[in-house]
Structure 1
């Protein structure tokens, strides 16, 4: 930073604090959260909510990553200049429009600070210097990573005058520096010094890993997050040092906590390191476009086998498919995922089948589908599963045993043709065997544009849920009616795992 303005409010109480999970807050030690936490969280919420049509926005000032060091472990930024299409789309959802309560042309930043305190005047104390970008980052330090916030500054002298007023209003203790178009805010003077020293050695914006992963997701959107390759090891080290002991105590206070108690710190650290040994970094970004929101993610977990059968299989479902989950999982996916949890034994008790046997039964890829929902004919539910590469005889034997155990013989049918096997209620299984042409519909292509490359697909056509939701959950019927389709695809590109999620609004 070219200019430094340290600031504290030593007389003020801690007004903004780190949120704690469960328990009586009065009995727990609390750490003061640096000034700007509310600003970042609030701006993040308003990024998808605030109207930007009546304010002059500019991309000037670059990225908040300029204010963080290249060693930053985790980072998330919000950029309101990229959210111009968010509000018109969200306003098509009646309950969200009502919840937002923003008037046309209202500055979302003013809504954020309007009720901060009686002595704070947004037009006088905040508006002259605050920009439209903010970020939070975790920076490595001697004992444990430290948090910092960055706010875009359009006038440094006004920011130097406004930050103490904001601190006094919040009653929080913090330290900050202003320079190069950013206010960098930390919890203590020592934390700020650690971060500034690291920044002098290079910024996150210039870091090769940050550039690679944010570039792999198409650049920054209105929300962007980044995880450095060193993050898993930092989390494992924190686990070894007992950072999650308190979390386990909260699990114990929760009546559901006993279901999944945390392992001892050393075992947890080893699990984290083993699961992420090939992790090379990750990023995701959220973009708003006309009538749609899109999340794109990229990460590296080492070389993976390329596969695209799941997306292709999902595309062969009937055109009136309402929902589908399709996957072409890696070998041992269920056995590995359930290892050590006890869930494998529960699965064996329920189905009489070990996880490895169920993996084999499902074949190379599968698609669980729900067809058109007709409430006038509740006895003819279109629900089934389409399997590619499964042994149809084994599937039929399993289904017969399962339905007999539930007294449901004759309700579920098993059909096969070549390498494809289908299981469905009534005649729906036969319908699943054919190529139903879902991949050729505009809805599916718009929601899942990468289906042909995908090893995992989720698709929901909300148009097919209107009648059901109106009957069962009328309070959200208007919102469901306004939604179009939800699509998600996961696919492999060399050693890079990619994912794309889209939700459209009619």
Structure 2
């Protein structure tokens, strides 16, 4: 499949998002359209398998293994409704998979995937849904015994979602699985068979609504029905506004009403998977996995959150853009100094007071003030291109630091004290220029950092790190420069893929009103 496909259209279908996934029900059988039905109880034989895993695996199939199915993916013609049209308006979280996204996404995915190895060798007979099913079924003895062509393909559609409704608890959340179906009658037997094979431990209901089968535990069905009577998620003005801010929802997406999710799920919500700003007691987060001709991106927005107490350093200066052109890796964070001071009481409470006093006396510093000054309003760590594999055990890689701070002279004094007491003062060069303290492990790199670099003029950098000058946090990695390390222990199958990736970048912004955005991109070429 060549990359000379027509440019993508301007429009794109609305899609939807979803949450982190608590344990969800296995699939039972289904009744007449609009009515729930379920088995009297399938015998428990094996541990339950969360079908949310299927959504995650599908994304991997598209992004990594998707190279093998690019032609098949492009052949799909967009049709049908999205899962948010059959989920209640009071849904508090949702994660969605779409193997039939907008035409623009299909063209972009095809263009990107042709840059990955072996796409030109693949035919048009790759079935993405079958690849997904095999990935999921391979980890379950019961599901592995099913025949995809006979037991699954005749009824399974191209879209799916897992949603959480209000009223549940951390131990037993109210979960709904929405599966698009191509034949409701065949889905009745098929879903029941999958549930039995997967070892469902309790009877479940399946409510047929439009072209979807909504799978719930029996004690959740009434809430589902009552919620749908009040409207669908797609009709929620808050939800649709969040999706409008997000843009194209790509091949997978998620949406979470944070306070409602925290109230319902509590400690069961995996907080590490979403930005810190999305975990406040207010606001919402939406994210999507989507394609561009040059990259695959995980993009997201946070909306309606509490305004930050301070945005000092956020978007100030030019961030990574003025680093040297030969930068191999870099990360920039804003507001660390103020964050240290704001959280010092809680952090220092974890250590004995006498231990902290001893550290301050030994280093000749005052905590947290000196640490806050050193970290400043914007901190940047950077590394130029170099042969890391040739470094010996005692060799120090070339790295540098820039700290924009209110008192750079004081920050330099702290560095001098710490490096001298640590015996590494001969390994660190430092200099103050204006409001910035510069440090480097070599004099040459210190000189390069204090000059005006041109990394921001690189197309690869600007593609990987959007809005770098405005970012509250950003990062960049030149994967091409790191190929020797990335591929040295890679398998024969993984090595061509790693060799085809050129860069990765991250950027995040947060505004004074609490809204924000983030982007993580991986470039191929």
Indicate the TM-score class for this superposition, using the shorter chain for normalisation. Answer: 0.7 to 0.9
Residues 1:362 and 2:375 are matched in the alignment:
yes
Q: Structure 1 stretch 459-468 or stretch 120-129: which is displaced more?
A: 120-129
Among 432, 447, 452, the alignment partner of 1:435 is 452
Question: Is residue 2:324 matched to residue 1:294?
Answer: no
More displaced 10-residue stretch of structure 1: 226-235 or 397-406: 226-235
Shift of 1:109: 1.8
TM-score, structure 1 normalization? 0.78
Quick one: distance in 2 between partners of 1:57 and 1:93? Answer: 20
Deviation sequence 1:155-187 (CA, Å, 0-9, x none): 22222242223333334242211121111001x
Partner of 2:516: 497
Deviations 1:482-506 (A, max 9, x none): 2211111111345211111111122
Q: CA deviation at 1:203?
A: 1.1
Q: For 1:326 and 1:274, how far apart are their aligned partners in 2?
A: 20
Residue 124 (structure 2) pairs with residue 110 (structure 1): no
How many residues are matched? Answer: 453
The Cα of 1:407 is off from its aligned counterpart by: 1.6
The one of 121, 146, 163 aligned to 2:174: 146
Report if the CA contact (8 A) 1:156-1:179 is conserved.
no
Closer/same/farther in 2, CA of residues 492 and 179 from structure 1, 3 Å limit: same
Residues 9 and 167 of structure 1 are in contact (CA less than 8 Å); yes or no, is this contact kept in structure 2?
no
Identify which range, 167-176 or 424-433, moves more after superposition. 167-176
**Judging changes above 3 Å, is the alpha-carbon distance between structure 1 residues 230 and 467 closer, same or farther for their aligned structure 2 residues?**
closer
Moved more, 81-90 or 284-293: 81-90
Aligned pair 1:425/2:441, yes or no?
yes
C-alpha contact (below 8 Å) 1:311/1:326 kept by paired residues: no
Q: Is 1:392 aligned to residue 408 of structure 2?
A: yes
CA distance in 2, matches of 1:224, 1:421: 41
Q: Pick one of 101, 125, 136 that aligns with 2:162.
A: 136
2:431 is paired with a residue whose SS is strand
Q: Deviation digits for residues 35-85 of structure 1, max 9, x if unmatched?
A: x55654554543433425236523322211122211111110011123746
Give the equivalent residue in structure 1 for 2:283: 280
CA contact (8 A) 2:374 2:403 kept: no
Instruction: Determine if contact 2:157/2:179 at 8 Å carries over to the other structure.
Output: yes
Q: Does 1:57 align with 2:76?
A: yes
1:160 maps to which residue?
A: 188
Residue 134 of structure 1 aligns to a residue in which SS? Answer: strand
SS in 1 for 2:323: coil
Moved more, 314-323 or 292-301: 292-301
Give 3-state SS (helix, strand or coil) of 1:106's partner.
coil
Do the aligned residues in 2 keep the contact of 1:12 with 1:168 (CA within 8 Å)? Answer: yes
Structure 1 residues 154 and 238: CA distance shift in structure 2, 3 A: same
CA separation of 1:238/1:485 partners in 2, compared to 1, >3 Å: closer, same or farther? closer
SS in structure 2 of the partner of residue 136 of structure 1 = strand
Question: Quick check: 2:278–2:284 contact (8 Å CA) kept in 1?
Answer: no
Match among 10, 17, 29 for residue 48 of structure 2: 17
Tell whether 2:509 aligns with 1:481. no
**Aligned match for 1:403, one of 406, 411, 419:** 419
Q: Measure, in 1, the Cα distance between the counterparts of 2:299 and 2:132.
A: 28
Whether the aligned pair in 1 keeps the contact of 2:71 and 2:110 (CA below 8 Å) is: no
Deviations 1:298-333 (Å, cap 9, x if unpaired)?
113222455554671311110001111112216631
Relative distance call for 1:11 and 1:417 in structure 2 (3 A) is closer
Measure how far apart 1:124 and its partner are: 3.4
Contact 2:327-2:455 at 8 Å conserved across structures: yes
Instruction: Sort the Cα spacing of 1:331 and 1:274 in 2 relative to 1 into closer, same or farther, 3 A.
Output: farther
Alpha carbons 2:70, 2:109 under 8 Å: kept = no
Within the candidate set 221, 234, 246, 1:217 is matched to: 246
Structure having greater relative contact order (Cα 8 Å, sep ≥ 6) = 2
Q: Is the CA contact (8 Å cut-off) linking 1:150 and 1:185 kept in structure 2?
A: yes
- Cα offset, 1:387, TM superposition: 1.9
SS of residue in 2 equivalent to 1:78:
strand
Give the structure 1 partner of residue 90 of structure 2: 71
Question: After superposition, what is the alpha-carbon deviation per residue over 1:130-154, rounded to whole angstroms, capped at 9, x for unaligned?
Answer: 1111100111126563111011112
Q: How far did residue 468 of structure 1 move? A: 4.4
Q: Which runs of 5+ in 2 are unaligned?
A: 1-31, 271-275
Name the CA distance, whole Å, in 2 between partners of 1:230 and 1:166. Answer: 34
Q: Judging changes above 3 Å, is the alpha-carbon distance between structure 1 residues 5 and 195 closer, same or farther for their aligned structure 2 residues?
A: closer
